[in-house]
Structure 1
Amino acid sequence: MRQELINEVEATGNELLETVSSFSEAQINVSPFEGSWTPGQVAEHVYKAADCGIVYGNTAPSDRQPDEQLQAIRDLFLNFNAKYPSPEMILPTQESHEKAALLQDLRERWDNLINAAQTVQLEDTCLDFVVYGFGPFTRYEWIQFINTHTQRHIHQLKNIKAKL
């Protein structure tokens, strides 16, 4: 389970960095259409959402399979026809973004996520935050939540790229 998780997180991180890298410096702050985030804003949102600090917080032993909610997480985020409002705490700013700084921040954030996937007790349940509609996640599910959420936004970035 652990090695498969590490492989998935590494693959998503590589795809994220490649996708953000594909934008020119000029494109990073361009909205493809009215009401859309810029590529820089999407990258900032992913950066904020990929903070894996929750997996290092308070935990308890779990009484269920550590991946029990994985399919529900994937069903939520990989349904590209559905639109969801972002929680305020991870909304991007209106500030201009620099591509190199975004890539460095994302690379560091992703290194932290890979480290978590490599080292934490994946079966433990995280107690400090609950995603509405799900109940408490295991550490494995939190890492997959971050990973799958990022896959959703990689898809969004590719759509933006096609419009620019």
Structure 2
Amino acid sequence: MDNASDVKELLAALSGTTKEIQQIAAPLNTEALNKIPFLDSWTPAQLMKHVALSITGVAHALHVPGKPANRAPDKKIEELKTMFLDFSSKMKSPKEIDPGNGHFEKEQITEELNASMALVLENRDGAVPDELIEDTPFGEITKLEVLHFINYHTERHLHQLKKIVAALRG
């Protein structure tokens, strides 16, 4: 499969995972969306806000001019997969995409998630997969790796949301 096909498939997967997050959260009212289900957990709304912020960050990264990678454009993919799909590990959000402790309205957070996805799709033409970008939390990373990251990251939070909603339902 070529890198252009990879981009198309990765964006389709991201869109599907984002829709699944929304479907799982849809039955929750605003009060439940803002309820902490257990110790050291985000609320469903905080999780959705975090996902929206991270997808928006990726959309901007795809738009940044890159430079040719002097390595395989998929070199870090397995490392990212291992890191983000290890559901037994606990991670701390970088402050740039920390959702904060505010109260979120259901409609607002859903719109933010939709807007982040629309922005990443709008910027997909800038996603030259083997371009390298710098100044990311991962150091130098290709746009192909960024797309894999956001998929693994969003899958991780889908898994968390399922646990959160199950805890809220008791």
TM-score (ref. length: structure 1): 0.88
Listed as ranges, the matches of 1:14-163 within 5 Å are: 14-51=19-56, 52-117=59-124, 119-131=126-138, 135-163=139-167
State the alpha-carbon separation in 1 of the partners of residues 125 and 66 from structure 2: 17
Q: Deviations over 1:69-97 (max 9, x none)?
A: 11111110110000111112221211111
Residue aligned with 2:39, SS: coil
* Residues 58 and 128, structure 1, Cα contact 8 Å, conserved in 2: no
State the alpha-carbon separation in 2 of the partners of residues 39 and 82 from structure 1: 19
* Residues 54 and 128, structure 1, Cα contact 8 Å, conserved in 2: no
What runs of 5+ residues in structure 1 fail to find an aligned partner? Answer: none
* Residues 62 and 124, structure 2, Cα contact 8 Å, conserved in 1: no
Residue aligned with 1:44, SS: helix
TM superposition shift of 1:152: 0.6
TM superposition shift of 1:119: 4.7
**Which residue matches 2:8?**
3
State the alpha-carbon separation in 1 of the partners of residues 63 and 96 from structure 2: 19
Residue 51 of structure 2 aligns with an amino acid whose one-letter code is V
TM superposition shift of 1:13: 2.1
Length, aligned pairs only:
161
State the alpha-carbon separation in 1 of the partners of residues 66 and 27 from structure 2: 39
Residue 100 of structure 1 aligns with an amino acid whose one-letter code is E
Residue 98 of structure 2 aligns with an amino acid whose one-letter code is L
Residue aligned with 1:84, SS: coil
Q: Deviations over 1:103-155 (max 9, x none)?
A: 11101101222333455211101123241xxx411111112212211111111
TM superposition shift of 1:41: 1.0
Residue aligned with 2:163, SS: helix
CA RMSD of aligned residues (A): 1.7
Residue aligned with 1:108, SS: helix
TM-score (ref. length: structure 2): 0.86
Q: Deviations over 1:22-68 (max 9, x none)?
A: 42222111111233211111111112222221222241011222222
Residue 81 of structure 1 aligns with an amino acid whose one-letter code is S
